[in-house]
Structure 1
Amino acid sequence: MKFVAFERAKQGTGASRRLRNAGKVPGIVYGGEGEPQLIELDHNALWQALKKEAFHSSILDMDLGGKSGKVLLRDLQVHPFRQQVLHIDFQRVSAKQKIHMKVPLRYTGEEESTAVKTDKALVNHILTELEVSCLPADLPEAIEVDLSKLEKGQTLTLNDITLPKGVEAVLHGHKAEDTVLVSVVAPAAAEPEADAADAAPAAGDAPAAEGDKK
């Protein structure tokens, strides 16, 4: 994806507030061989771009001052209740240096599986994204996970899938076989209906006649 940014000369709370009032978003780009640089973006264009999954998990082409550079979205500050981006951070990337990035897991084929189609089991997506390490050219927009072979009671771990070429999972000390992606459980059994005899008075327990009441 490509987007346009503009150089920003002023910084500080007051300058940022004036930018936001003018429909702009203050930001910064850092990393790589260059110095950190203050930037600003058009808010409406940025808001539309943020609705796309690729903007969050892909290498982006940033046009800044007529020059194009590769960057990653690294941080985003959004107003707690308004649809307004307050600040945005980008990191420059080098084609020869590996990057760490969280990539969405895209599950497919669930409805065709025996677990769902025949056994009416429930499929729980334990993880929705995975942190990976790879060169920028190998970064996938998403990792496809086929669930069409799922069976009731099965647990799908990271060890059960094949990652794209050049992509490694970042597990922070955990093991692939212990990293659960999906679990399949039987649907909760319906609560048995109360026995009619429990609800109705037992024989010999008929309500006392008015004359018997004290």
Structure 2
Amino acid sequence: MSKIINIKAAARGKAGKGAARAVRRTGLVPGVVYGDKQEPQIISLTYNAVEPHVQTGRFLSTLVDLEVDGNTVRAIPRDVQFDPVKDRITHVDFLRLGKDARIAVDIQVHFKNQEASPALKSGAVLNVVSHTVSLYCPADFIPDEIIVDLTGMQINQSVHLSQIKLPDRVTSASREDVTLCAITAQAKEEEVVADAPAAADVPASNQKAPDAAAAPAAGGKAAPAAKGAAPAAAAAPKKK
């Protein structure tokens, strides 16, 4: 079960973009609390009270006890907005939770015992399909994580959410059976060995011209044959 964090907030009377900008100019973060069939409540929070929880990466699946001017409101963060340039938190939405409320939350998926998978030990690849899964659960019982045990996994095997034993009162919020991961064989790189080009394949522009000494000049004598070369064939006699 996720732990419950406490954040102090203050009620503010005015809503709208102008009022929110005025709150941000004072260094505070504007927010709103809605749900549970009650009127939305406009609040402001100190930046340092919110930012460390946002940085954990689990803020949107964490229960919060908001202390608003002495009253405690059980809620869960539903949206965090950031400045596109400065990347600072500019607004936070909270969903008020009533008694026995059930909500859909995104829970992180973690994988363990990779070393106990014969496929992964032999060089196969673990392809993670879903890093988070949407679960429907009681507001006071939100799982911290979903664990996928890879022990004994072979090549071409996959794991779906239906194969994971979920905690009591926790079900999938998706109508489909979500694929969490799959193990595939590692692709082997083909080694290409380039053969040396044959003489006939060499372009004419790159072929070496015959030695000038071997070809007789016009009107001149032919160069003497190399020592050991076969004698040239005798010329045929001219007919009279």
**TM-score when scaled to structure 1?**
0.86
Aligned counterparts, 1:125-164, within 5 A: 125-164=128-167
Alignment partner, residue 202 of structure 1: 198
* Runs of 4+ more than 3 Å apart: 203-207
Contact 1:4/1:41 (8 A) holds in 2: yes
Alignment partner, residue 171 of structure 1: 174
1:28 aligned to 2:32? yes
Residues 49 and 210 of structure 1, relative CA distance in 2, 3 Å threshold: same
The offset of 1:204, in angstroms, is 5.9
Aligned residues: 204
Which structure is higher in helix share? 1
**Identity among equivalent pairs (%):** 31
> Which string of whole-angstrom CA distances, capped at 9 and with x for unpartnered residues, describes residues 190-211 of structure 1?
122224x2xx122665652234
* 2:39 match: secondary structure: coil
The offset of 1:74, in angstroms, is 0.8
1:6 aligned to 2:2? no
The offset of 1:90, in angstroms, is 0.2
Segments of 5+ residues of structure 2 without an aligned counterpart are 212-240
CA RMSD across the alignment: 2.0
CA distance in 1, matches of 2:140, 2:16: 36
* 2:140 match: secondary structure: helix
Partner residue of 1:60 out of 36, 51, 64 = 64
Segments of 5+ residues of structure 1 without an aligned counterpart are none
Aligned counterparts, 1:33-112, within 5 A: 33-112=37-116
Aligned counterparts, 1:180-191, within 5 A: 180-191=179-190
Contact 2:8/2:49 (8 A) holds in 1: no
Based on CA coordinates, which of the two structures has the bigger radius of gyration? Answer: 2
Residues 205 and 7 of structure 1, relative CA distance in 2, 3 Å threshold: closer
Amino acid at match of 2:164: I
CA distance in 2, matches of 1:187, 1:147: 17
CA distance in 2, matches of 1:58, 1:75: 12
**TM-score when scaled to structure 2?**
0.77
Contact 1:7/1:40 (8 A) holds in 2: yes
